[in-house]
Structure 1
């Protein structure tokens, strides 16, 4: 009889432990920290995209026989990152955000710097940070929203430029010339008089190290007098 009581007691203890463990997991899950702030601290390496090379009007049609064809025309911009795997007209493909770093703040007060990452599996590409256009994409400057899933309304934005002719490195004011005026604009950004947007930031980042400083202004001046 004592053995039976011991077995029952042991089984009861195991059941209690399992129940408590499950309850603790539920409590932990319900109390999981959520994203409360997303702040871009480093822009993607590419913020300017060239027509015909990086984007075009149309979509990538994949019929039942599996032979993909790019269909031109229409008024929607299709990006060609990773070949532009567009299966329907509404799917605009992926935007190249490599180099992006965001600072995330959570509801528990903790922060983390997260770099954008893509994982390729067959013809699919998975992202850890997502991008969305709030307005219809068009040639010129477009605002990109970056966020995490599940989306809870917390995000940050940066600009991209869709061009038909590539901008010369250092031509920060887009006047077709690289000169002291561009160097001055860079220096104004350095001392926080007038900050550059993501597009002009990358154009002014002469040594492509991801940061803007007086050395970039010097490189612009060197190019101007070369």
Structure 2
């Protein structure tokens, strides 16, 4: 895109590899107390959710860590008509972290389903959204309907997504992607059925 072109559309075309985050391992209640040029110390307690993915690198004040968005790919359309598929990139060198795609929560982050807004800077109101799930117990791979069992009902939901009858959100998409290849197809439904009868 040319230097004068602005972002006119942002569309997620591939969800991040992780959309479910486990309390204790991936997040907890608290914040990072970050000194000048420091890594930060996690302070537990309170009702703020803090992520543990490279947490505490950004500011010298309270910091809620970073959301792991690795694997995210968005299609960006610019005002000059050009489009580009851009993958989230994260490089760590010392304490500096760079990303080309930004995200924020429009509501206070809490356990359960949270909506993440994805955008580019400078923010001009153009964005897309995906859901993440903050859990205290990990969901079993294949349990797309979250009923605690992997069975034919889950396979049916995956097949409904495949034929575009009912599309899965980002959380359920990753749970239904049985072979973790980044796509949902009938093979994932077959793997769910195999797991159900195993």
- TM-score, with structure 1 as normaliser: 0.82
- 1:154 match: 126
Shift of 1:195: 0.6
Gaps of 5+ in 1: 1-28
Question: Partners of 1:105 and 1:67 in 2: how far apart?
Answer: 36
Higher fraction of strand: 2
1:59–1:89 contact (8 Å) kept in structure 2: no
User: CA contact under 8 A between 1:78 and 1:84: conserved in structure 2?
Assistant: no
Greater Cα shift, 203-212 or 55-64: 55-64
Contact 1:160-1:198 at 8 Å conserved across structures: yes
Task: Give the Cα–Cα distance (whole angstroms) in 2 for the partners of residues 36 and 67 of structure 1.
Answer: 36
Structure showing the higher helix proportion among its residues: 1
Greater relative contact order, per chain length (Cα 8 Å cut-off, separation 6+):
2
Q: After the TM superposition, which segments of 4 or more aligned residues of structure 1 sit over 6 Å from their partners?
A: none
Any conservation in 2 of the 1:103–1:113 contact (CA below 8 Å)? yes
What is the rounded CA distance, in whole Å, between the counterparts of 1:64 and 1:169 in structure 2? 41
Alpha-carbon shift at residue 189 of structure 1 (Å)? 0.5
SS in 1 for 2:121: coil
Larger Rg: 1
State how many pairs are aligned.
198
Superposed CA RMSD in Å reads: 2.1
CA–CA separation in structure 2 for the residues paired with 1:220 and 1:73: 38
Residues 110-150 of structure 1: CA distance to partner in whole angstroms, max 9, x if unpaired?
11100110122311211000010000000000000000011
Q: 1:83 Cα shift?
A: 4.7
Alpha-carbon shift at residue 93 of structure 1 (Å): 1.4
Q: What 5-or-longer segments of structure 2 have no aligned partner?
A: none
SS of the residue corresponding to residue 183 of structure 2 reads: coil
Q: In structure 2, do the counterparts of structure 1 residues 214 and 166 end up closer, same or farther at CA, with 3 Å as the change threshold?
A: same
Separation (CA, whole Å) in 2 of partners of 1:66 and 1:196: 40
Partner in structure 1 of residue 56 of structure 2: 84
> Structure 1 residue 67: deviation in Å?
8.2
Change beyond 3 A, Cα 1:30–1:123: closer
Q: Structure 2-normalised TM-score?
A: 0.93
